[in-house]
Structure 1
Amino acid sequence: MSTMTTIAGQLDAKGLKVAIVATRFNDFIVDRLVGGALDYLERHGLASENITLVRIPGAFEMPLICKKLAASGKYDGILALGAVIRGGTPHFEYVCAEATKGIAHCMLEHSTPIGFGLLTCDNIEQAIERAGSKAGNKGVEAAAAMLETIRVMEQL
């Protein structure tokens, strides 16, 4: 019987350098995502001096900033945090789709793990739930996914 090789990422952030890209639009939600992510990363060993927080206008700008950070080679991972809340026009669909595609493309192009913490909610109540109340804190979940992906990538 052969032994299966298993590759799994450890949730240890010691020695890593991480950039957090956070939108100013809907900052009352995004600040809670950032706070949760920072708490998580620091509790898992990431030194605060190894964290760069980049504030940007909104979700549509996320792919460009993530690409610039990834291309710099300075960061082991990037965390993209924002909140888009549906309004009365199709603008929501365009912003969400393009931000999502752009971030995914950046991650693939640069082989840099990006934690996807862009909330796409139908209303403010859903956003509040995902920023630390009923549905947990999606900033924490995105940070955990980024961290685990960094550690898996190191083993491949």
Structure 2
Amino acid sequence: MAGRTAGGLSGKGFRFAVVVSRFNEFITARLRASAVDMLERLGAATIEVIEVPGAFEIPAAARAAADTHGFDAIVCLGLILRGETPHFDFIAREVTRGIGQSALETGVPHAFGVLTCETLEEAIQRAGLKAGNKGAEAALAAVEMANLFSLLRVRFSGHK
């Protein structure tokens, strides 16, 4: 018979880092506020906001936070807006790769809340100024993954 394992949505007892870029702060401040609010509502024990200059710096800061072993999950938030040069593609690719690599190499879940938008209007929509907020969604994913990793450790390795 097949087993089923899924994470829950209680942040109680879990520690979270929220790595957020300051560039495009009109949007990223809203992502951060929604992520922190969601983590608080779900009962997170610790929420540490780590600010970085831009999106490119998010993976390095997320990795540094994960390497401390002080967090159960990392929420990564930022905005990369397409401009008139290929810069957007390079940055978006490397930020995505770096966040994923950090999660895989450290064993600490990283939730991806970095918006890659064609226009400011699209970013405004995704930052919850009109409807849902990707910062809150990333926080939910982080809580679920922290729960899942904890459950897997307890259930299959005997460690908490």
For normalisation by structure 1, the TM-score amounts to 0.94
Structure 2 Cα separation of the partners of residues 155 and 46 of structure 1? 17
* Bigger Cα displacement from structure 2, 85-94 vs 127-136: 127-136
Any idea what SS the aligned residue of 2:70 has? coil
Partner of 1:53: 49
Match of residue 97 from structure 1: 93
Report whether the alignment pairs 1:123 with 2:119: yes
Distance 1:113 1:100 in 2: 14
Give 1:134 deviation, angstroms.
4.2
Which position in structure 2 is the counterpart of 1:11? 9
How far does residue 154 in structure 1 lie from its aligned partner after superposition?
1.3
For 2:135, the equivalent position in structure 1 comes to: 139
CA–CA distance in 2 between the matches of 1:139 and 1:151? Answer: 19
The question of whether the paired residues in 1 share the 8 Å contact of 2:22 and 2:28 is answered with: yes
In 1: Cα distance, 2:41 partner to 2:151 partner: 23
Answering whether residue 56 of structure 2 is matched by residue 39 of structure 1, we say: no
Alignment-mate amino acid for residue 126 of structure 1 = E
Structure 1 alignment gaps of length 5 or more: none
Partner of 2:107: 111
Partner-residue secondary structure (3-state), 1:10: coil
1:58 Cα offset (Å): 0.5
RMSD of Structure 2 on Structure 1 (CA): 1.0
| Number of aligned residues | 152
Q: What are the ranges of 5 or more consecutive residues in structure 2 without an aligned counterpart?
A: 153-160
2:70 counterpart of 1:70 = no
1:54-79: CA deviations, max 9, x gaps?
Answer: 11001111111111111110101111
The corresponding residue for 2:27 is: 29
Residue identity over aligned pairs, in percent, reads 45
Residue 71 of structure 2 aligns to a residue whose secondary structure is coil
Q: 1:155 pairs with 145, 151, 158, which one?
A: 151
1:83 alignment counterpart:
79
Q: Distance in 2 between matches of 1:85 and 1:153?
A: 33
